[in-house]
Structure 1
Amino acid sequence: MIKTPSLAVALSAVAFAAPPALAAEYPPPANPGKVPAASKKGRKLVVCKRGCRYKTIRAAIKRATGRDLIVVRPGTYREGVQILGRRYDGLRIVGDPKNPRRVRLDGKGVRGAGGQNAFFVNAADGVTIRGFYARNYKANCFFVVNADGYTLDRLVAERCGVYGIYAFNSKGGTMSNSEAYYNNDSGFYIGQTPPQKGRKKRSFVTNVKSYLNVLGFSGTNMRYVTIRRSQFFNNGVGIVPNALRTEKYPPPEENVIADNDVFWNNFNYYRGAPFKIPTSGPAGLSAYPIGIGILLFGSQGTIVENNRIFGNWLVGFGMVQQFELAGDSDPKLREAATLRNNVVRNNRFGLDGKDLNGRDLAYDGSGTGNCFQGNVLTSPVPYLGSQATYAPCPGPSENAIDPTVLGEAAQWIAAQNPKKPETFEQFWLRHPHAPRKGVKPVERYRR
């Protein structure tokens, strides 16, 4: 067993002074009432502002079953849509896939449960939501929970209270061709994936853009998730699979992060943000230092490969044990804290020397079977700590802890003070950014 250095205890005290956000129990499926009869082929229910039978999406939902297709015409709909229970298994709801911004759900001024989420799917399997733009909801823009299969495609999620596009306690889903920004926790989130035996039902996050969020992608205790061909930029941190006690099934396990562009994640939201800074969770606790591209905070069996990671001024890729769990009295939580069999290979750091990270790699050396191979490093500080800590593949039966890495990380965390935003930048190693068509780097938000 790897012994946890005493420094880890100090780190946990600094970073976890309060519980993370959304440590909540979600409601069971509501009774849908009398189910309308549906033809074997299903029906097409059309929603529009004028000239249609249904003037609201909720009205169409009340008449629909899972065999049906609901088509929503362009317009602004001030409502929250709830899809609850097995009656809706397989339901498809389609706005404008070619231009999702034409079909807008806006939560501003919507009271009660309708103002919490634009779309809330609970215990309905295989639901498809495609071609919508949601903004200004108090909780999440698009939220699926307790589902076996889901498709969230061609969506835009702006300025929702916690997450943009979110799946919880679900499996076998797809998030694709979508965009999330101005969310005060993460743009995309898959969490608390139930363990599976045998052949796994994987979830796929493909061709998404996430920017100007606290986190681009958060994955608390997520499993069997592949994140690929996507862009995470101008967030506080780009991608963070993490193990937390506040959700079931730690740690994150058997995930793949491949062929993504992860760059310019130096957004210091404490200097100004298009959202309200949360008082708990990653931002309120400063648990994740700003300026990191990809961070594995307790992970097992994760593959990070063929990514392009550049312009992140603290660290390009980081991997540390979940130090808050490492000293727990529960052996299952101590195990969840441990880094095991993670592979970091064939990633290109620093855009061929044109857009450098502050440090390319940071790893505390804890755990077993963790390895690095074929990565192209260009930063003047390619490794935090000793290069010998970054074992080649296949990984060793026991990695070698480097206490200097945890020591430096402790300094980063201890120095952070939300009342002094400049403290989040004091350990950055700045380098010039290379021009990128259609995108500008943002460290400080200005209206």
Structure 2
Amino acid sequence: MIRNAIPEGAFAMTSRIRSVALTATAVALGSLALGGVAHAVDYPAPKNPLVASKKPKGPFRTLTVCSKGCGYKTIQRAVNAAKAGDTIRIRPGVYRERVVVKGTKKRYLKIIGDPRKPTRVLLTGIRSKPLTVPSNGIVINGADEVVVNGIAVQDYGSNGVFAVNVNGYKITNVVAKRCGVYGIYAFNSVGGSIMTSTAAWNSDSGIYVGQTPPQVKPKRTIIRNVTSYGNVLGYSGTNSRYVTITKGRWFNNGLGIVPNALDSEKYAPPEDNVISDNDVFFNNWNYYAGAPFQVRAAATGVPYPIGIGILLFGGRRTIVEGNRVYGNYLVGVGMIPQILLNQKDAVDLIGNQIRANVYGNAGNNRNGRDI
């Protein structure tokens, strides 16, 4: 086990941690393959999500969406007509629209497609337009505990499914592909879950949780049983906290999993996250040599390198435990102080632990360096 047990505010490191940090830093700065970093795009102004909305009492209705013969032809019209706690059932088809679920009057709404085969219900942007045009597939803004289940989203200029300013959300059985920034995105929110979903070929990260407000009694965000591949970053968590990432598959990204600290969002650095029981492998994709999206410039000027499985870029009290990490050609697991951060009291690595991970796939697919 490697324990980064540095007292609060201290800068000194043990010699072992210093070696890891310096090695990873040299890798990051010396890599010729440049990668993108997390940055929020096209989102509503942050509001306080710490106070949860009351659960609605009902009675509740079910509204059905389809191209012909249903009550509603578009998802947005059904959302507009729905009240808190209602269910929207979407029949198979292609829906070319942007859906906005906004405000407490839409709390606890359930938007359900085909949980068994999400690609039968496809929400799509306009592929002919450049993905630099800001747009989101589904935005949940200030509506607590909304469920999105069994839907595929693709070809939006910004994000596939985006939850912001909410206290709780459930995103499950979602397929998010070829979006201009993030596939599945939660920002300035409390709790919530992303489960049994796939994110691929998104031009920043497949899954992103950012700017989690500090909480006296934390509600954890659960990311479980997801698959993320073909993205610049499989998972990015800028200034995220209380996130548990478990039982996922993270492969063929530029970099697999990277909780990170940036000045572009509040509440640096990331804290109290857990990365456990994941398969993190072959994150060596040089998207600069060819990618189905426009590669974005790095926000910090020091982009993440290609070929790392898990990287802690700043952070406190993160546990990396029981993962299977192999075939990442630079480093399996690394950590670096965020030396570029303006918020100097958030630069240091404090209290992080790397323990009980399995490296190299029994020698068949070794990392360039395990730790």
Establish whether residue 171 from structure 1 lines up as the match of residue 151 from structure 2.
Answer: no
Deviation at 1:128, TM superposition (A): 0.3
1:21-420 alignment runs, 5 A limit = 21-22=39-40, 26-27=44-45, 40-108=58-126, 116-197=135-216, 199-281=217-299, 285=301, 287-325=303-341, 328=342, 333-361=343-371
Equivalent pair of 2:104/2:142 in contact (CA under 8 Å): yes
**Structure of higher RCO (CA pairs closer than 8 Å, 6+ residues apart):** 2
Check whether the contact 1:291–1:312 (CA below 8 A) recurs between aligned residues: yes
Distance 1:71 1:134, change over 3 A: same
The one-letter code of the counterpart of 1:207 is N
Task: Write the letter of the residue equivalent to 1:178.
Answer: S
Greater fraction strand: 2
Deviation at 1:280, TM superposition (A): 3.8
Provide the rounded CA distance (Å) in 2 between the counterparts of 1:221 and 1:214: 19
Cα deviations by residue, 1:207-229 (Å, 9 ceiling, x for unpaired):
00000000000000000000000
Report the secondary structure of 1:352's partner residue: coil
Q: State the identity %.
A: 49
Separation in 2, partners of 1:304, 1:266: 20
Tell me how far 1:3 sits from its aligned partner.
6.4
Secondary structure of 1:93 counterpart: strand
Distance 2:62 2:191 in 1: 26
User: What residue ranges of structure 1 are gaps of 5+ in the alignment?
Assistant: 30-37, 362-447
Tell me the secondary structure at the aligned position of residue 346 of structure 2.
helix
The answer to whether residue 11 in structure 2 is matched with residue 2 in structure 1 is yes
Residue 334 of structure 1 deviates from its aligned partner by: 1.6
Count of matched residue pairs: 340
Aligned-partner Cα distance in 2 for 1:256–1:19: 21
Whichever structure has more helix as a proportion of its residues is: 1
- The secondary structure found in structure 2 opposite 1:324 is coil
Deviations 1:68-101 (A, max 9, x none): 0000000000000000111111110000000000
Q: Give unpaired runs (5+ residues) of structure 2.
A: 1-9, 48-55
- Paired with 2:327 and 2:146, the residues of 1 have a C-alpha distance of 38
Q: Which amino acid aligns with 2:206?
A: G
Measured in 2, the distance between the counterparts of 1:343 and 1:25 equals 33
Matched residues in 1 for 2:57 and 2:234: separation? Answer: 42
Provide the residue aligned with 2:52 in structure 1: none
Preserved contact between residue 46 and residue 165 of structure 2 (Cα < 8 Å)? no
How far apart are residue 28 of structure 1 and its match?
Answer: 6.7
**Structure-2 change in CA distance of 1:72 and 1:115 (3 Å):** farther
Runs of 4 or more consecutive aligned structure 1 residues displaced over 3 Å after TM superposition: 10-16, 18-21, 109-112
User: In structure 1, how many angstroms separate the alpha carbons of the residues matched to 2:365 and 2:46?
Assistant: 48
Query: 2:185 is paired with a residue of what secondary structure?
Result: strand
Q: Which amino acid aligns with 1:2?
A: F
Task: Give the letter for the 1:318 counterpart.
Answer: G
Distance 1:260 1:312 in 2: 14
SS in 1 for 2:186: strand
Q: Secondary structure of 1:131's partner?
A: strand
Could you tell me how far 1:26 is from its partner in structure 2? 2.4
- Deviations, residues 232-287 of structure 1 (Å, cap 9, x unaligned): 000000000001111000110000000000000000001111111113447xx451
Shift of 1:21: 3.4
Cα shift at 1:335: 2.0
CA contact 1:234–1:267 (8 Å) conserved in 2: yes
Distance 2:281 2:37 in 1: 29
Kindly indicate whether the alpha-carbon contact (under 8 Å) linking 2:210 and 2:237 is maintained by their aligned counterparts in 1.
Answer: yes
Q: 1:178 to 1:20 in 2, by over 3 A?
A: closer
CA contact (8 A) 2:46 2:188 kept: no
Q: Partner amino acid for 1:343?
A: Q
1:9-67: per-residue Cα shift (whole Å, max 9, x none)?
Answer: x9899999x996336762479xxxxxxxx982210000011110100001101100112
TM-score (norm. length: structure 2): 0.86
Structure 2 distance, partners of 1:88, 1:280, is 36
3-state SS in 2 of match to 1:152 = strand
Task: Spell out, residue by residue over 1:293-351, the C-alpha distance to the aligned partner (whole angstroms, 9 max, x if none).
Answer: 000000101111000000000000001100112xx4xxxx2221111111111000001
